[in-house]
């Protein structure tokens, strides 16, 4: 299937590893020129090399999106290297070692929201007006099934629920302008350097096996490729009637009926 986005320009945050890297690769495979950002120069260089193998233009920019001024510098860097951003994938996030409501301080909530919500919101507010003017754009926010139902830490769950709500509200605002906004809710996805890899490596085998038996209907953790391909589809011309959706990609892990 031709997704009709060859030559478009995408920015994928946290694009040097994990779900961000796979989203960038899936977009590059479709002929999209891809900019990625991350904090690590080493992982950026490695991912950038992979992306260039598809024959597309790329940009790898070091950025810490928890810094309020970073989104402006990032967007300026992407536009200087590749041109206006047609596709924005907000992937940066994490629970950052937080806990439940009573054990998480206000500062814990603030730092998790900074990474998962405010960074995405700042980028959206920077790039969405240009998408409106050009009458085309795609914004895909990487949420979590734990933004739809109970799971994970309290700050993380609250932040991802907020991101899903922002996605829905923004989607209805921009729908008439040819800009489609959606979110993806991954389940427990195993990838190098991710939290579930740490879980598997640091917990006794019986604990890991029990978690899988209790939570993962497929009998194994998820993997990044289906997330990346879902992002690419939602960023495509083929998804121009999908607006404000939150798409679970979780192997049946979630329990929410909606």
What domains can you pick out in the chain, each with its CATH number? 9-187+224-243 (3.40.50.720), 194-221 (no CATH)
Question: How many CB atoms neighbour CB 201 within 10 A?
Answer: 8
Tell me the pLDDT band of 258, cut-offs 50, 70 and 90. Answer: confident
Tell me the pLDDT band of 254, cut-offs 50, 70 and 90. Answer: very high
| Active-site entry in 156, 158, 170, 183 | 156
pLDDT digits (tens, 9 = 90+) for 50-98: 999 999 999 999 999 988 899 999 999 999 999 999 999 999 999 888 9
- Give the span between the Cα atoms of 124 and 190, in whole angstroms: 28
**Looking at the chain, how many residues does it have?**
258
What's the distance, Cα to Cα, between the start and end of the chain in Å? 28
| pLDDT reported for residue 99 | 92
Residues 6+ apart with CB under 8 A from 155: 95, 96, 98, 104, 108, 109, 111, 112, 113
Q: What stretch of H or E contains 16?
A: none
- Give the span between the Cα atoms of 140 and 92, in whole angstroms: 12
pLDDT digits (tens, 9 = 90+) for 187-245: 999 998 888 899 899 999 999 999 999 999 999 999 999 999 999 999 999 999 999 99
Instruction: Using a cut of 0.85, tell me whether the model's pTM lies above it.
Output: yes
Three state DSSP letters for 150-169: CCCCHHHHHHHHHHHHHHHH
* Catalytic site includes residue 156: yes
């Amino acid at each position: 299937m031709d997704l009709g986005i060859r030559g478009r320009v995408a920015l994928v945050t946290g694009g040097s590893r994990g779900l961000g890297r796979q989203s960038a690769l899936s977009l590059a495979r479709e002929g999209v020129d891809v900019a990625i950002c991350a904090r690590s120069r080493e992982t950026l260089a490695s991912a950038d090399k992979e992306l260039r193998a598809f024959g597309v233009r790329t940009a790898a920019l070091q950025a810490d999106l928890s810094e309020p001024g970073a989104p402006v510098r990032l967007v300026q860097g992407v536009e200087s290297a590749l041109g206006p951003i047609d596709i924005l994938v907000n992937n940066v996030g994490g629970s950052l070692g937080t806990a439940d409501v009573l054990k998480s301080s206000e500062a814990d909530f603030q730092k998790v929201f900074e990474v998962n919500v405010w960074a995405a919101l700042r980028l959206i507010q920077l790039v969405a007006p240009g998408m409106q003017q050009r009458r085309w754009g795609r914004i895909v926010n990487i949420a979590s099934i734990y933004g739809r139902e109970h799971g994970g830490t309290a700050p993380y769950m609250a932040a991802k629920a907020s991101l899903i709500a922002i996605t829905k509200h923004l989607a209805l605002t921009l729908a008439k302008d040819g800009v489609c906004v959606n979110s993806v809710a991954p389940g427990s996805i195993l990838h190098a350097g991710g939290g579930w890899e740490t879980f598997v490596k640091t917990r006794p085998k019986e604990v890991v096996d029990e978690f899988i038996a209790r939570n993962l209907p497929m009998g194994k953790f998820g993997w990044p490729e289906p997330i990346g391909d879902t992002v690419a589809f939602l960023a495509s011309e083929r998804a121009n009637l999908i607006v404000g959706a939150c798409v679970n990609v979780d192997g049946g892990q979630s329990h929410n009926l909606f």
